[in-house]
Structure 1
Amino acid sequence: MIGMPLLYQGSGRKKAGPANSGRQVWKDEDRKAQQALHTICRVVAESVLPHALFGPNSLTFVATAVADFLVVLTNFFLIMNAGSTWQRVAHFNFAFLGQLAHEQMNISGWLAVYGVLITLLLQAEQSQFRIPNHAQLNALILGKVILWVTVLLSIVIYHSETPLLRIMWLAAPLNLLAMFGWRAFIRWQRVRAHARGRGVKRVLIIGAGALGQHVSAALARDHGRRLVGFLDDNESVRGDVLGRLTDLSRVARAKFVDEIIVAFSGEIELTRRIVREAQRNRLAVSIVPDCEPRAWQFEYLSGLPLLTLHEQQPVLSLYSKRAIDVVFSALGLLLTAPLLALTALAIKLDSRGPVFYKALRAGRKGQRFACCKFRTMVVNADGWKELLRGQNEREGPIFKIADDPRVTRVGRFLRRYSLDELPQLCNVLRGEMSLVGPRPHTLDDFKRYRLDHFRRLDVTPGLTGLWQVTARRDPSFLRNMALDVEYIENWNFWMDLRILCRTVPAVLSGSGT
């Protein structure tokens, strides 16, 4: 089925003769034997390939794998023989046959290994579930490039003087074109066969509601399946409703159904009963999840299939954000190295204690990390915090005093121009922070969060943020939270660049506390 997800796919095939619903389809002994065999096959497959090998039709898998292997080897032998054959036949010299056979034997081992590797890779990329054609092509290209480069490097290392390297360079693009052509030919042959009615599955949809109609529209685009009708307990729904859900066995036999697709949001137990009834009638079963098709994907947890819903992430923008973090933090540490050294010297001369102050902060998803800053307070500043809490000028859980008596003389200057934050470039370089994002709070403030405050921890904390460039002196914690949420919900790559550009004049103006 094109464009619709399959949560459960049974591998049963309809057989001739009536099904006896009074006895079990599989005996306990047969079930145990099948489970043991399946476990062995799965362990072997997972040790060789990144995806499951054994789909509903193992014969199709073997035939496709053999065909891929033959296509790869054929391309190699064509390239090997084309040049030498043309040259020697043109000079009427047929004594080259023995030499050609000897040359082929020398590299036949490499060809066999390469053919087996690329065949296994192609089958792994396809896996046992259908994927869209564009995704299949992307996987094919990426897999071929990776394998091609790997084999070429191995040849360069171990056989730098062999002509096999040139053969690989010529064979790689030809193999790629051959694989595309081979799959296009197979797809064309399948469409022709389906147009004649060969290999077309007769499908019965369980549920004639909106989801069932969506499945029906998808079936109309699938040449390999043909809709025979719907089953639904609601008689008011539109469509070719052939009966109620209890009529499954009767309709399946009368209409020669090969597969049912469950497309309704019913109870789990009702779905289980439908699946069991379908298995008694030797029907393949597919279940359509009632959710947005683009928001989910299949994953496996130790062999257990999971239907996973992922939040859509702007992957390219996130990678760009991280790249800018790494580049700019490294450059910042390099360019400000003299300033960092002078600042460290000033702190040591001004007051006793360490140069740096490290405090645990709450990062992304509440992960704790040691946030590094230049020390701007006296050594025992944390011990005074509870005594000074009555002078707190901020609302909510955040503690901040404008004229904090714990701040040293050098510390007051560093805070005014935010120079105490420069060591946090190390946190950015390590990935614990970003250049732009909500400011990380101390664990003491983090413990005072309400449930709605945790929203700001969905992203990596930053060295600067929207609050720092728009409402730096606003004491309202609610205003702070509102700006953080606004940043999270509207974030994009260009927003970070604008905040960084606005941070520079804000720092130079000396508006820090």
Structure 2
Amino acid sequence: MGIGPEWRARRSRTLRVVDGFVIAWAITGAYVLRFGFVTDTAVRGDETTYIGLSVILAIAWWSMLGAWNSRESRILGAGPDEYKRVAAASLWLFGLIAIFSYVLRFDTARGYVGIALPVGLSGLLLARWLFRQHINVDRETGGSTLRLLIVGGPGAIAHLADSLHRARYSGYLPVAGYSPGAPEGFTVEAQSGLEILGRRPDSESILEAIDACAADAVAVSAGVQLHPQILRHLGWELAARNVGLIMAPALTDIAGPRIHTQQVAGLPLIHVTTPSLEGGQRVAKRLFDVVTAGLLVVATLPLMALIALLVKCNDGGPALFRQERVGIEGKQFNMLKFRSMVVDAEQRLSDLREQNEAAGVLFKIKSDPRVTSVGKILRKFSLDELPQLFNVLAGSMSLVGPRPPLPSEVAGYEKDVRRRLMVKPGLTGLWQVSGRSNLSWQDSVRLDLYYVENWSLAGDLLILLKTGRAVIRSTGAY
């Protein structure tokens, strides 16, 4: 039914070919680099040559990727699972090779393995990334997607549809809704615009709705008024039709590592761990900040000296601008920046309030008349923020965190927004790599709260890597 099964099978077949090519390339290259074109180098006596070992290794590596479900269509194109499974399958394979070589006393050439693993793993990850870009381009035009029927209450349908529309690269396209127990006359969900195909709380009617909209999968969202036995029968019918079943609980902005599923009496109970940044985690983050910021200061010191000279020569004013910001737990500190505005910018702010283009408590103007000619260049590439590395070293900021707010902004915070102050503000963050000044106030808050709730050192590293791309593109920088 639908186009889902067809494109999924086609993508999986393509990945099998791509994986085989990359593995063959890596192993052949490792053999040639280690042994040249000599073919009689033996692993054990003259019985088994490295050519035979290479063939076995290639088949085993290709099979391990399949055993780890790294080509499963559900994870293609979005999220980190695809990369994690490729890495896990590869590392497990070579770990097993090391163990068997030690136990059976095989004299395996370490240079051969030392070349094959990093080259092959890097090639596989690069191939998966390129494949993902191809899928994302296809999804821009509506291809490689699963047509989704959303079953749930009116509010839950709207929320899930909006979330999936924002995450268009995830590969889910909401095409209709089904709202058991909804009032008469509820035929279109107002916020999402989805047509509501039924409201009877039985599996037969839902199956008819699936046929009507040619859905490839059904997402059961929060607030659905269906008896567990009906859901069970619905699952059986969907499996027989090769239609996917997705359960979407009422959890928002919760990262995967915080979610754990436990089977109790046949029920899949979802446990959500409490976010914390205490003890070892806090020490690790601080150590990472100090080491990385110190290296960046050393690397960028000549550039900072040049920028300071240019700012000073531009209008004779001070090179640095100090502004009071609010940090962790509401503590105020002086944030450093290269001055990108005229000297009396703060005094002229009141005259520009009516031109504010930002929402919420933020103040932003795309063509701010107070920005100097040098300041425009500094802002475009975020070079004005380099002195904040010294704030990081001093401990008032972190490399990655929520945007450092002004005291006037904090005064206007609602209760939930104050959770941004649970961690140190960052030189960069999710707001920096997601559009910067182009973000709405609601999106800025949502991203900052997501970071607070789901902090991890791996997440910080990923944000730092994305920051370089965001700075080069200068999207939303003004």
TM-score > 0.5, shorter chain as reference: no
Larger radius of gyration: 1
Question: Taking structure 2 as the reference length, what is the TM-score of the superposition?
Answer: 0.41
TM-score, normalization by structure 1: 0.39
Greater RCO, 1 or 2 (C-alpha within 8 Å, sep 6+): 1
